[in-house]
Amino acid sequence: MTYYIVNGSPRTNFNTKQLLEKTAEGIKRIKENNRVEMIDLYKLNYKGCMACFNCKLKEGSFYGKCPIRDDLEELLEKMWESDGIIIGSPVYFGNLTGETRSFMERLIFPKFHYGEGKILERELPVGIIVSMNLNPENGGLCYDKTIFEPINAFLESTFSKPEILKVYDTYQFKDYDLYENQIFSKEHKQQVREENFPKDLQKAYELGRTIAKKG
Ligand SMILES: Cc1cc2nc3c(=O)[nH]c(=O)nc-3n(C[C@H](O)[C@H](O)[C@H](O)COP(=O)(O)O)c2cc1C
């Protein structure tokens, strides 16, 4: 079984990536020979959907596929044939990162059906892990409407109902004393990092197990 984990954070060793590494562990835990391919989006060259609509062209050679030739070309084909895809992203200005959104346009749109039923004939397990600075008490819940509802709807109608993990109140700087910041308390952030983040890592691990059990 092959699973793709996609890191949509420019940082390849911080909150989002650490969560995704745990997800990979969870997947491998279900079956020793489960294969996990970890992709860092910021290392690739690609664009979002170009609205050429070749993927929707009746009897066209790219129906259900994407004709754009770039670093996503082969990767998308492999992902559509895989046993599960997990995408992680930080929140940037109230949404997923630009690279994550461009990637998701390319991943979802060719298989998104303007009509009844699905283009992909089987359920493809998907998971989403989103890390953010805000928490449910100071505004983080507003992303339920703007980020999570649309993602849920598009993924469900194209691949399958996604497993979603929301990780709030993350540690943004490695050392809060070094950076100009009058809004977020260093003590609060440290406490959350020590008490909550390990629980979030465990949830990311469980998400991996859940996806692998569906595969
Ligand atoms: C450019 C930028 C914009 C951000 N915008 C938001 C935001 O709108 N809401 C939020 O909760 N956090 C925001 N954050 C914080 C990140 O989402 C948060 O620190 C995240 O966990 C970082 O993930 P990483 O450690 O994988 O890079 C922003 C961070 C950056 C760098």
Kindly report, residue by residue over 197-209, the tens digit of the pLDDT: 999 999 999 999 9
Kindly report, residue by residue over 114-160, the tens digit of the pLDDT: 998 899 999 999 999 999 999 999 999 999 999 999 999 999 999 99
Block residue for tokens 């009897």: 59
Using 50, 70 and 90 to split pLDDT, how confident is the model at 177?
very high
Instruction: Provide the residue range defining the domain that includes 162.
Output: 2-214
Kindly report, residue by residue over 25-46, the tens digit of the pLDDT: 999 999 989 999 999 999 999 9
- Residue 155 alpha carbon to ligand 1 centre in Å: 23
Does residue 215 surpass a pLDDT of 80? no
Torsion of CA 177, 179, 185, 186, to 10 degrees: -30
- C-alpha distances in angstroms, 209 versus 42, 98, 148, 168? 26, 28, 21, 21
Q: What is the position in ligand 1's atom list of the atom closest to the CA of 88? A: 26
Domains held by the chain: number: 1
- Residue 83 alpha carbon to ligand 1 centre in Å: 29
Domain holding 177: CATH number?
Answer: 3.40.50.360
- Residue 102 alpha carbon to ligand 1 centre in Å: 17
Percent of the chain with pLDDT over 70: 100
Among 144, 93, 152, 95, smallest CA distance to 128 is for 152
Using 50, 70 and 90 to split pLDDT, how confident is the model at 164?
very high
- Atom 3 (ligand 1) nearest CA: 92
